[in-house]
Amino acid sequence: MHRDAKNGFCIPVIKSAKVIALDGEVLHTAVAQRLRTLIVEGALAPGEKLNERELAERLHVSRTPLREALKLLTAEGLVEHLPNRGAQVALLSDADVVHAFEVMAALEGLSGELACARITDAEVAEIRALHFEMRAHHARRDLSAYYRVNALIHRAINRAARNPVLTETFDRINARLQAFRFRSNFDTDKWNVAVREHEAMLAALAKRDGARLRAILVEHLDHKRDVVLTQLRAGAEQRA
């Protein structure tokens, strides 16, 4: 952990995503996942121009799978193409963040409520196992591993709702917010609160208390939104 002297946040040390040489037979979805991780963890910053030659060398791939990967990330909203400027990491305004989190909170809440009505005991056990794994990463302050498992928990709750339209919308909106959700844990106190909220989620899910789980998930997303907005505004003040 180290402390950001400018804004006072305690920032976990984040290891860069591993880059392993890819051969021409690997699907472009693997390249997209590498890029997605780099964007989520901040190795590729919002607004950063994406140079195809440099990225191809960095990931040890040809430009063909790279371009296909960029198309996937563009569809997800993580990458945008600007006239005469090429591709860059998407840059969201405060209003964009507020609107996206509003929708995401509603989707998460609905996922939780439906999951309580439709989830199996085996699926609850799987989510409980993921929760314990997430807690272990939190104890070690391994944010990259923590976030990976955290995302799996939210995804599992959504899938347990067994509503394909909800899942499709959930995935599309969530893709745009992954980097913000990741960085919301840079504040140690807020990170600890998020873990306690996950404890409450698991308890409500185990009891099949849909109304309770929905309320917890909405509040959880509202807290994430508030932390993200604080960070964005602090960054804007520093740049000013």
DSSP three-state, residue 67? helix
For residues 123 and 192, what is the distance between their CA atoms, to the nearest angstrom? 25
Cβ distance 75 to 207 under 8 Å? no
Give the number of other CB atoms < 10 A from CB of residue 200: 16
Full set of structural domains in the chain with CATH: 2-89 (1.10.10.10), 94-239 (1.20.120.530)
pLDDT at 205: 98
Does residue 14 come out as left (phi exceeding 0), alpha (psi in the -120 to 50 range) or beta? beta
Q: Which amino acid is at 127?
A: I
Instruction: Write down the pLDDT at residue 17.
Output: 42
Confidence (pLDDT) at 234 = 83
Instruction: Please report the pLDDT score of residue 134 as a whole number.
Output: 98
> Which among 48, 47, 54, 56 has a CA at the least distance from the CA of 21?
56
pLDDT value of position 103 = 97
Which alpha helices (DSSP H) does the chain contain, by range? Answer: 28-40, 52-59, 63-76, 94-118, 121-139, 143-160, 164-183, 188-206, 210-239
pTM for this entry: 0.81
Phi (first) and psi of residue 149, to 5 degrees: -75, -40
For the chain (240 residues), the mean pLDDT of every run of 10, in chain order, is 46 45 58 92 91 92 91 91 86 92 98 98 98 98 96 98 98 92 93 97 98 98 95 77
